[in-house]
Structures are given as C-alpha cells and as structure tokens.
Amino acid sequence: MINSAPQANLDQQKAFLKAENKTVTDTIAKHFTDNPESKRLVVRVPISANQKAISEAIKTISTKQKDKTIYIIAADEKDGKVVHGCHVSAEAKEKGADAPAWATEVAGVLGGKAGGKGATSLGQGTQPENADQAVELATKYLEKLGL
C-alpha cells in the first residue's frame, strides 16, 4: 500500500500557496478598484514570506496594469524572513523612479538584498520586524519624486 500522506501534504501546501497568491492579487485589485485615480500602491500583505506570490503579483501588474507603480512586502516574523518586490510604471520612471534602486534601498532596512532590471525588482531579507519601516521608506521614495 502506497502512503498518500506526502501527496495530501503537498496538495495542502499547494492550496495554501494558491490562497496566498489570491490574497495578494485581491489586495492590489481592491486598492485600485476603490481608488480608480490611484497610480501607486505600497503595501504590506498579510501572507507568509512567499516569494512566488509577490513575483506573480508583480508579473501581473507589469503585463496588465503597466501604468501602476507598486511595492509589495510580505513578512513572516515566525520564520524570520521577508520578501518584497516592485514594479515601476513608465510615467514613474520618467519622474526618476528606478525599480532596482528602489528595491535596494528598501532591502537595506529589511536586512537583505534585491535585484532586478528594467521596470521590476525582487528582494528578500532576514528582518521582518522592519516591514512597517520598509513600507514607510518605500512610500517616501515615491513622495520624493512627486509620485
């Protein structure tokens, strides 16, 4: 008889990750639906340090809502991890925003690093307790540029 516990565990993990992906996309969609004039969002999402969920959300924004500038942070204090990512619209880029520079600046507060090219950047860190401070820093970055 084959043990189905590992498969059940895998299925449960996939369902959890799918739910987290939905939480991130729903959070973003709600912001832009509730604020149709908004061109930007800096947010800490209530999920684990799930890089795939952040990456998928950034990918969706970069293909379906290119006019939006977004920074997403997910911190898991229990595991001591934080992941983050951003997308910079063409309009924001014209005003001086730079995704890799923005993410690198935020990564410094989160005890990690970031990398990317063009309009997107992703990062990770080991100081999830600084996530709220990172949200403030990411917001101030845009405000300095008049965004």
pLDDT of residue 90: 96
pTM: 0.92
Res. 2: pLDDT tops 60: no
pLDDT of residue 1: 44
Q: How confident is the model at residue 110 (pLDDT cuts 50, 70, 90)?
A: very high
* Residue owning tokens 């405000």: 143
Mean pLDDT of the chain: 94
pLDDT in tens, 74-102: 999 999 999 999 999 999 999 999 999 99
Q: What percent of the chain has pLDDT over 90?
A: 89
Task: Tell me: pLDDT of 7 over 90.
Answer: no
Q: Is 76 exposed, middle or buried (0-12, 13-18, 19+ CB in 10 A)?
A: middle
Q: CA 35, CA 139: separation in Å to the nearest integer?
A: 17
Question: Number of structural domains, the chain?
Answer: 1
pLDDT computed for residue 3 by the predictor? 54
- The mean pLDDT of 112-123, rounded to a whole number, is 95
The residues, any chain, with a CB within 8 Å of residue 84's CB and separated by 6 or more, are 54, 71, 72, 73, 74, 103, 106, 107, 110, 114, 122, 123, 124, 125, 134
Q: Average pLDDT, stretch 123-131?
A: 97
Q: What pLDDT shows up at residue 8?
A: 79
Q: How far apart are CA 133 and CA 147, in angstroms?
A: 19
**Which structural domain range is residue 99 located in?**
5-144
Question: Residue range 63-72: average pLDDT?
Answer: 96
Q: What is the CATH number of the domain that holds 108?
A: 3.10.310.40
pLDDT, residue 141, reads 97
